[in-house]
Structure 1
Amino acid sequence: MSSTKVKKAIGLEGVLCLILFIAFFTAIGSKMGAVNMINTIMNTAHNLLLNTVFFILAIAVIAGAIASLLSEFGVIAIINKILSPFMKPLYDLPGASALGIITTYLSDNPAIITLADDKGFKRYFKKYQIPSLTNLGTSFGMGLIVTAFMMAQKSPTGENLVFAALIGDLGAVIGSIVSVRIMQTFTKKYFGTEEMAIKSSNPKDDLLDTREIREGSIGGRILSSLLDGGKTGVDLGMKIIPGVLIICTFVLILTNGPSAQGYTGAVGEGVGLLPWIGSKLSFILEPLLGFKNPEAIAFPITSLGAVGAAISLVPSFLSKGIIGGNEIAVFTAMGMCWSGYLSTHVAMMDSLDCRNLTGKAILSHTIGGLCAGISAHLLYVILV
């Protein structure tokens, strides 16, 4: 339970906050124009609510219903038993966590949060493992969309990009392992390594060998599990609204540039600060990622805020000859592994009641995404 502290009503903290607040919006407003800046913030937040939050809400409802159904009839128990020998040494997670990889790969990052709220899924985890599900799920968010998009591109040189995209998937797996393992070094210190996420209602029961079911006929259990799981998805979908609207709006403003007509107050306009920072770091990133053109840095930087926006850069890059197979592999790995985590990690950690560990999750995943890109580059050099 969170506690509150008492401080003096007026102090240095308030003055510094006011100065930084004014400086931040003055800097952005001086470039975009004050009216355009306000319109862009409001229009972007409204667009995110309609086209992103409700999409995620729909995913959460469907994923919650499916997870509850699979839990009710013991499918998650089977998955846990089969995949534990692989997930434990790689991720230090139970085999049931593989279901989180599948659901996020087929949908988006927050799908794993719906799973994590299901008691039938959560019962296989220890407390320290639960927060790292944010890093695991985010590593594979929108994986199918990103991979299919990359495979569908045509190289001007006739290069086979299908194999490059598959290498990128493998790079994302490596990045996910790094991210989860780093995150768990923090959560083990915070929670310890013994306490289970859910305690059995009957102390004599072994959580791994027993499971609770609903009363009634098979048809009734199916209907109840689907509706209960869907309701959980609604609750979680509503919880992420503040994080997505606030964080993602400002990430997009710091990532994107002006529209073709300049600054008009339209959705998604921005000051391009993050790509500019990326260009200054290109002397480090280019050798590690194998980029042959510094403009390619725009993809991983943009994917920090929204991988959907990042993949829209690819056709233009290909037509201009800026990127090739190596970049497609790296883009797939980093796009999938990062997949807009700056705009979802806060909301996801909040949903898991682990808000105080959000900074640790972001740090771990930043390192994991870089390792995903570096791994994809090295694998491409070795295999192609």
Structure 2
Amino acid sequence: MKESEFVRRLRQEVEHWHDEGLVDASLAERLLARYDGQDGPARSKIAVTLSFLGALLIGIGMIVFVASNWDVIPGAAKLGGLLAAMVLSYWGGFRLRYVGESYHGTGNALLFLGVLLYGANLFLVAQAMHINAEAPSLLVLWAIGVLPLGWLLESRAMLTLGLLLLTLALGWEAAFWCEGPGGFSAAFLLWGVLLVALGRLVPRLTGLAEGLGGFVLLTVLTVLADFGLSPHNYPEAEWAFLPPGGQLRLVLLGAVTLATTLALLFRRGQEPLERAEGLGLLALTLLAGGLLVGGGLDEALLRTVFNILLLLVTLAVLWLGYERREPGWVQLALGFFALEVLSRYVELLWARLPMEVFFLSAGVVLLGGGVALERVRRTLLKKLAERE
């Protein structure tokens, strides 16, 4: 384990110890300062958050200023100003992080501001060269500029931004060539599986890719459980209605996802838990193909299947989070479980109860469910801490 990864893991553990009352604030600071590579107290989480928030607001402010004065500012001044701001952000972030007394959090925030301005420059250059600014390829180019830098600097913020940009680009692109919800859902099921598998295979993406992938998977299954494939009125397979370019993209995405899932499944030293997770991801990959080749199926039957599948996947995420000691997965599963219970409640009783009775009973259910869910969450997190 690299030293930076060790420090990151140590910081998370010390925060858990402090929250559980095992160590006080001063001892937590001394523990972190011992391994943090600094002479002073460990970096404050609040200070880092404020630095990133400041960088985000500066980036938004500069972009809004240029957009508000688009017709007033000459084109060369717009491009030159944003380029100069980007270079200064990179230079200042590098100096603060690596030169002299280290201000790690502020330096990272300025580097993050640099990648935001890089994206603004991309769209500005595209507009100046009369390139369609609504092209998803611009988001891909932005991600290509963000992910390598985030990888080299081990910046979780940059890696998260890059993965989010690719996710948005996929949705943007799929909206152009998917004729129905089957193709769109298949694309995002494959993408969610790919993210989870990459997070398990690549240590530097651990926690980021799996979290986003799990959220994508549960979101797609929730939408399918709530709405099914109602616009999917094709008597044949939806695959036949995709344009050739869309078919090629789905084949490539499916091939990459399948190869990554098989690499995870047959990785050396597999434990039974990891093998079960790999089999589950493989099943979801095959399900994505089924959404494309199936046609003319009964809508009620499909929604029932999707509801059962959502429940199984939610329980699997909850179980994996507990067994792997990952509180984020536990809370993700509980959140989607609560959302699914609320959806089924509304679906079953909205038309069967008077409006005032429905809202009163819904309020009681939400309050009681919130208390019960919080108790379950605390119990599971406490057990996770004890096992740790």
| TM-score bracket for this pair, using the shorter chain length | under 0.3
| Higher relative helix content | 2
Q: Whose Rg is larger? A: 2
- TM score, norm. by length of structure 2: 0.21
